[in-house]
Amino acid sequence: MDFQYRLQNLWSLAGRPSCPPLLAMASRMQMAALTCLSLLLLWSQVPGAQGQKFQFGPCQVKGVLPQKLWEAFWAVKDTMQAQDNITSVRLLRQEVLQNVSAAESCYLVHTLLEFYLKTVFKNYHDRTVEVRTLKSFSTLANNFVLIVSQLQPSQENEMFAIRDSAHRRFLLFRRAFKQLDMEAALTKALGEVDVLLTWMQKFYKF
C-alpha cells in the first residue's frame, strides 16, 4: 500500500488531532500529546518512512524502493522472458556481477543503468506500446533515472584501478549485447532486469 495513503489513514483514524488551545484542560492536552506521539511511532514503522537507501560504495541513492522496481518488472517478466529464444547467451553473467567490490559498485551500476536508459529503454519504447507494457517500463526507466542522477563516481586519479575494473566488467556485458541482433539483444537485456535488481538489492541498507 502506498506510504502516503497509509499515513493519511492513520491520521484519519486518530481523528486528525491538532495542538490544543491554551485554555484547554490539562488532561485533554496530555491526550493530544500522547496521540501525536503514537502517530509518530506508527509513521516511523511504515516501510520507506525512514532512511533506507542504496549504498554503492561511497555513493548513496535515496528515494527509490526496491519493491517498486520489482513490481514494475514482474508486470512484464513473463512477456519479456517468453520472447527470449536465445537461452545459451547471458548478458549479466557472473564475470560482470560476481564479487564486485563496494568501491567498484558505484561505477558499475552507473554505467549499466545509463546503458539501459540510453540504449535498451530508448530503442524498445515503440514495442512497449505494442505489447501494452509502457507503464511498467516507464516506472523502471524513471527510477533508473533517479538512481543515476544521485550517483557521483569519484574521478580522482587514485581511483583509476577501481574505475578500470568496473569498466572491464561493463565491456563484457556490452560485448555480449552487441553480438546479438538488436531485437534479440533488447529482449534479453530486458528479460535480465531481475538479475540486475537482485544484484542491486545487495547494496540496499535499512
Residue-averaged pLDDT of the chain: 79
**Please, what is the Cα angle at 91 between 187 and 205, to 5 degrees?**
100
Task: List, for residues 140-157, the tens digit of each pLDDT value.
Answer: 999 999 999 999 888 787
1 versus 75: which is more confidently predicted? 75
- pLDDT for position 80: 86
Question: Which residue, 186, 36, 201, 56, is CA-closest to 122?
Answer: 186
Query: Could you give the CA distance from residue 144 to residue 109 in angstroms, rounded to a whole number?
Result: 10
Q: How confident is the model at residue 131 (pLDDT cuts 50, 70, 90)?
A: low
| Beta carbons of 85 and 37 less than 8 angstroms apart | no
For residue 4, give the C-alpha cell. 502516503
Mean pLDDT of 121-146: 83
Q: How confident is the model at residue 192 (pLDDT cuts 50, 70, 90)?
A: very high
Task: List, for residues 56-91, the tens digit of each pLDDT value.
Answer: 999 999 999 999 999 999 998 988 899 899 989 999
Q: Tell me the three state secondary structure of residue 161.
A: helix
| Beta carbons of 83 and 189 less than 8 angstroms apart | no
41 versus 142: which is more confidently predicted? 142
For residue 105, give the C-alpha cell. 559498485
**Amino acid sitting at position 38:** S
115 versus 27: which is more confidently predicted? 115
pLDDT of 12 higher than 70? no
According to CATH, the topology of domain 53-205 is Growth Hormone; Chain: A; (1.20.1250)
